[in-house]
Amino acid sequence: MANKNNPILTLASGSPRRLDILNQANITPDSVTSPEIDETPLKHERPDKLALRLSLSKAQKVFQEKSDSYVLAADTVVACGQQIMDKPKDAQEARNHLKKLSGRRHQVHGGICLIAPTGKILQRHCKTLIQFKPLSDTEIEDYLEAGEWEGKAGAYAIQGYAGSFIKYLSGSYTNVVGLSLYDTIKMLKSSGYL
């Protein structure tokens, strides 16, 4: 996709998956920077609100340095009910997450924030509903051993082997990977970038 008058796009994310998703639509950011922010949920913060707040914080932090560009940021929060299933600190926490998700439906909340060079802020929330098949202890242990869970919200990567655990999915697949392409394109168009 050609962008109008060559405006600059900065991706405020260290996720190679988000870059890959943008590349699917022939969008190549001019720069990529990974903002360091505190991702700790606030007391009683809902998963959807957390995803939106974190994407806004990331975009605002990068926009301070890149105010001449469009700054795109996203955050993904996995939740089972209202319980946030964050990135596991170790294999035991990943095991607990996978056991909790086994055979159950859960939600993946995506928060997307785009700040235009004018300072205008656009935000979107997208939710994808997923159901895992019941997982055996052997499947969980094999998955943990493969290491795919590391650094992943909910302790899994849908684009990897965990895709075989998915019995049901309703909503954006790319949201689960890390960035809803549908919503991102709409935002880039409405902001004047595309």
Of residues 12, 123, 140, the one with CA closest to residue 69: 12
Which tokens sit at 57?
């914080």
As given in the structure block, the two tokens for residue 172 are: 């954006």
The rounded distance, in Å, linking the Cα atoms of 53 and 119 is 17
User: Residue 159 to residues 25, 49, 131: CA-CA distances in angstroms?
Assistant: 17, 25, 15
Q: Are strands 121-132 and 105-115 parallel, antiparallel or unpaired?
A: antiparallel
Considering 48, 68, 75, 137, which one is annotated as catalytic? 75
What CA–CA distances, in Å, run from 5 to 8, 30, 71, 78? 9, 14, 17, 37
Q: Is 75 a catalytic residue?
A: yes
Residues tagged active-site:
75
